[in-house]
Amino acid sequence: MSPFSLLSRYFGRQFVTWFIMLLAMLLAVILVIDTIELLRRAAGKPDVTIGLVLRMALFKLPEVGQQVVPFVVLFSAMFAFWRLTRNNELVVARAAGVSVWQFMTPMLIAAFVIGVIKVTAINPLSASLIAEYNRLEDYYLKRHGSIFDVTHTGLWVRQGTDEDKYLIHADSVVPGTGQLRRVVVYRLGENDRYTSRLDAPAAQLVPGAWKIPNGTLRQPNRPPQSVPYLEIPTELTLDRIEENFAPPETISFWELGRFIQTMESTGFSAIRHRLHYQSLLSQPFLYCAMVLMAAAFSLRQTRRGGTMMMVTGGILTGFFVFITTDIVLTLGVSETIPVMMAAWTTAAVTLLLGISALLHLEDG
């Protein structure tokens, strides 16, 4: 094995070690905070046990943990560079002819691999756990269940009281109009007992009601009956229905593309899910950008004793990434800018800034 290969593995191991340590510490802090918050919310609910609270906190942990990974990558790289510089290991490497780009390569590769693992393995696990967390939260803490769903068969909506419920199915929705096509309304009584079924070619959602013309009513042991017009009271709106579909965070990366196609074929906007999907694809490149920014702030400053400047630069970089991501994602959801631009802007801008800063500091 060549000396450069040994050196690359050593630098990469330094970065990965710091990454694991910092991530473990942050996850422990997050777990404690979430557990305390869930205990506060569960106060006065005797059916919510300590075991259930701990289980919910653990289910939520991977999703929250994913949000802090970019900052963990940034500070892991900064601490790795700081230690290597303090021990003069980078000075020796430079004297041996190793450039800044060469000893950064293993860290960039490690950051990219972390991003790929996060998107392809951690995200699907997190999606299933956060979906279960949402189900438990709805049932035990919010005291209601999900009343909307969209599948390959169309839209399903559940509404009503315990004594009189409606289960509404539609093959598709005319975008932006609230009109449902090929509607079936199931009426359920106590204990979800089937009482009747109404088939209609269309239904219109208006403020306060579903308006269903030209329906055919079917009841047990009775012949079909024509219903010229039926109105079902509702508090739902089209915006509320769209907002309460499965959040993109609860859908696995591998299933997200199919879910987007299902939503769009049903007639609903999938802009949030498309934005989330593209953001996941940009994650490995964002992590590489974090390593470049860490090098720009830590390599030169630590040689001059500017540890406080290094930490300040890292905090400002994290703040910049957070603010930029929040702004461009908001613009993307509102369709002010294209989805691709909103999802990739943060990674692209940070990557270019990191490369420019290193070129100026090291080769300028």
Give residue 201's pLDDT.
93
The whole-angstrom separation of Cα 131 and Cα 16 is 30
Give residue 3's pLDDT.
57
The whole-angstrom separation of Cα 103 and Cα 10 is 10
pLDDT at 301 over 80: no
% of the chain residues with pLDDT over 90 = 36
- Look up tokens 């004297």; give the residue: 95
Burial class from Cβ neighbours inside 10 Å (0-12, 13-18, 19+) for residue 74 reads buried
Backbone angles phi, psi at 148, to 5 degrees: -125, 150
Give residue 295's pLDDT.
85
Band (pLDDT 50/70/90 cuts) for residue 243 is: low
Band (pLDDT 50/70/90 cuts) for residue 238 is: confident
The whole-angstrom separation of Cα 364 and Cα 359 is 6
Going across the sheet that includes 209-218, the strands are 148-151, 154-160, 165-174, 179-188, 194-206, 209-218, 225-233
Give residue 144's pLDDT.
54
Amino acid at 112: F
pLDDT at 168 over 50: yes
- Top-confidence residue, 133 or 45: 133
Band (pLDDT 50/70/90 cuts) for residue 2 is: low
Give residue 4's pLDDT.
59
Segment 38-62, tens digit of pLDDT = 999 888 888 888 999 999 999 999 9
Give residue 291's pLDDT.
92
Give residue 199's pLDDT.
93
Lowest mean pLDDT among 139-148, 215-224, 273-282, 321-330: 139-148
Lowest mean pLDDT among 8-17, 110-119, 168-177, 312-321: 312-321
Pick the closest to residue 166 from 221, 231, 76 (CA basis). 231
Give residue 183's pLDDT.
92
Give residue 20's pLDDT.
95
342's tokens: 């909103």
Taking a C-beta distance cutoff of 8 angstroms, is the pair 159, 137 a contact?
A: no
The whole-angstrom separation of Cα 250 and Cα 149 is 13
Residues 203-229, mean pLDDT to the nearest whole number: 89
Distances, alpha carbon 243 to alpha carbons 88, 130, 279, 290, in Å:
55, 17, 19, 33
Band (pLDDT 50/70/90 cuts) for residue 263 is: confident
Q: What is the pTM of this model?
A: 0.81
Lowest mean pLDDT among 79-88, 142-151, 155-164, 171-180: 142-151
Give residue 300's pLDDT.
61
- Top-confidence residue, 331 or 98: 331
pLDDT at 77 over 80: yes
Pick the closest to residue 185 from 210, 152, 148, 153 (CA basis). 210
What is the rounded end-to-end Cα distance, in angstroms, of the chain?
33
Give residue 161's pLDDT.
62
Q: Output the CA torsion 112→116→117→118 (10° steps).
A: 100
Segment 267-291, tens digit of pLDDT = 777 888 999 999 999 999 999 999 9
Helix/strand/coil (H/E/C) assignment for every residue in the chain? CCHHHHHHHHHHHHHHHHHHHHHHHHHHHHHHHHHHHHHHHHCCCCCCCHHHHHHHHHHHHHHHHHHHHHHHHHHHHHHHHHHHHHCCHHHHHHHCCCCHHHHHHHHHHHHHHHHHHHHHHHHHHHHHHHHHHHHHHHHHHCCCCCCEEEECCEEEEEEECCCCEEEEEEEEEECCCCEEEEEEEEEECHHHCEEEEEEEEEEEEECCEEEEEEEEEECCCCCCEEEEEEEEECCCCHHHHHHCCCCHHHCCHHHHHHHHHHHHHHCCCCHHHHHHHHHHHHHHHHHHHHHHHHHHHHHHHHHCCCHHHHHHHHHHHHHHHHHHHHHHHHHHHCCCCCHHHHHHHHHHHHHHHHHHHHHHHHCC
Average pLDDT, the chain: 84
Give residue 302's pLDDT.
47
Report the 10 Å Cβ neighbour count for 111: 30
Pick the closest to residue 73 from 259, 232, 294, 276 (CA basis). 294
